[in-house]
Structure 1
Amino acid sequence: MSDSTALRVADLPQNTPTAFEIIPDKETLTALAAEMGVNAVRKLRFTGEIKAMGKKDWKLSGRLGATVVQDCVVTLEPVTTRIEEQVEITYLARVETPEGAEVEMPEDDSIEPLGTHIDPAAVMAEALALHIPAYPRKDGAELGEAVYAEDGVQPMRDEDTKPFAGLAALRGQLKDED
């Protein structure tokens, strides 16, 4: 995304929220689709506000709306997905960073360290990437069962791999003998 959407924190008013609305043009949508690995991003809109929290911290609250076209993982036909998400990020002037080789991911992933700028377009792109379905499926599309075996050999099916399937069959045979 361009630097033109980045807002300099020092220029943001402390006592009133700063509203934003981002509706990318066709070229930007095409670039985002390529970056996200999808067929197309048809519509994209990110609106919200940035407001001060105390003297040094800031909060970005926004609403992401997007229409994304991807290939179905089963049929490879195009699947259109509508994404509607609330996005909130808190920018803290002081973020505790643990020292050492191993660093655990914080439980709250909506907290970011405050830099010199807050970029709603970058937040929009990240939120879009996080909410695009990893395995889109066309309605009613299901994976079938592929069965392979050499000639003359009984193929192993999914239900044969279930640990208690054999026991249930054995129990059924024992009941029949009684």
Structure 2
Amino acid sequence: MDGDQTSPLRLSLQVASLSRDGGQIAYAASEIECAKAAEALGIDSVASIRADLVARPFRKDGARVSGRLRAVVVQKSVVSLEPVEQTIDEEFEATYVRGGRRTVDPSIDAAGEIFVDPEADDPPETFSGDRIDLGERLFETLTLALDPYPRRPGEGYGGQTAEEAPDEDEDTVVSPFAALAKFTPSRGDGED
């Protein structure tokens, strides 16, 4: 992560100003930031974005940031194209270290293979300069929390609601290969 902010959300943390005990950060996106976020996400609108964060020093010149992101967004339903409002409430945590530092000591087994624990914490992200772009992390969290297939409550596919959709049992399901049956010779045609 570099010093240039590329996210539509503008929030940065000056690492040198962090006290030993850390500090709290309350963030609310402006209308302009919400509009830019909606445009970047390709959705109808972003009504609000708020975050309550706690930043603490990490090692010599890094930071550990944790908090909760709350947002209200409007997307089009994938079924009817009507607006669908989604409320997002996500917790996140990130650790940042100054670029160029070794962030992870890989575990190498006797065969020389690197062991990666999928359950372990994410490795620290790097930054340069004296500021960390927290807006980028908030935007990433918002992006990952969006419903990829938004639908209005009770909406289903094919003009039916989810409650009205027919049950699929073995008698009503038609095989996609059923149409090929007319092209195969029947057993009584004398072919072997």
* TM beyond 0.5: yes
The structure whose residues are more often helix, as a share, is: 1
Gaps of 5+ in 1: 99-104, 146-157, 164-178
After the TM superposition, list the runs of 4 or more consecutive aligned residues in structure 1 that deviate by more than 6 angstroms: none
**Does the CA-based 8 Å contact 1:30-1:41 persist in structure 2?**
yes
Which one of the candidate residues 125, 132, 157 is aligned to 1:113?
A: 125
Deviation at 1:89, TM superposition (A): 0.8
SS in 1 for 2:151: coil
Q: Determine the C-alpha separation between the residues in 2 that align with 1:3 and 1:160.
A: 50
Q: Determine the C-alpha separation between the residues in 2 that align with 1:141 and 1:4.
A: 36
**Does the CA-based 8 Å contact 1:57-1:90 persist in structure 2?**
yes
The alignment status of 1:95 with 2:103, answered yes or no, reads yes
Match of 2:82 in 1: 77
The number of residue pairs the alignment matches comes to 147
Deviation at 1:57, TM superposition (A): 4.3
Match of 1:128 in 2: 142
**Does the CA-based 8 Å contact 1:6-1:121 persist in structure 2?**
yes
The alignment status of 1:9 with 2:34, answered yes or no, reads no
Deviation at 1:80, TM superposition (A): 0.4
**Does the CA-based 8 Å contact 1:22-1:121 persist in structure 2?**
no
SS in 2 for 1:49: strand
Q: Determine the C-alpha separation between the residues in 2 that align with 1:32 and 1:2.
A: 5
SS in 1 for 2:142: helix
Higher relative contact order (CA 8 A, sep 6+): 2
Match of 1:139 in 2: 153
Give the superposed CA RMSD.
Answer: 3.2
Q: Which amino acid aligns with 1:135?
A: Y
Distance 1:68 1:113, change over 3 A: same
The alignment status of 1:36 with 2:44, answered yes or no, reads no
Which one of the candidate residues 19, 23, 28 is aligned to 1:23?
A: 28
SS in 1 for 2:71: strand
Tell me the TM-score normalized by structure 2.
Answer: 0.65
Identical pairs, percent: 28
Distance 1:65 1:120, change over 3 A: same
Distance 1:4 1:131, change over 3 A: closer
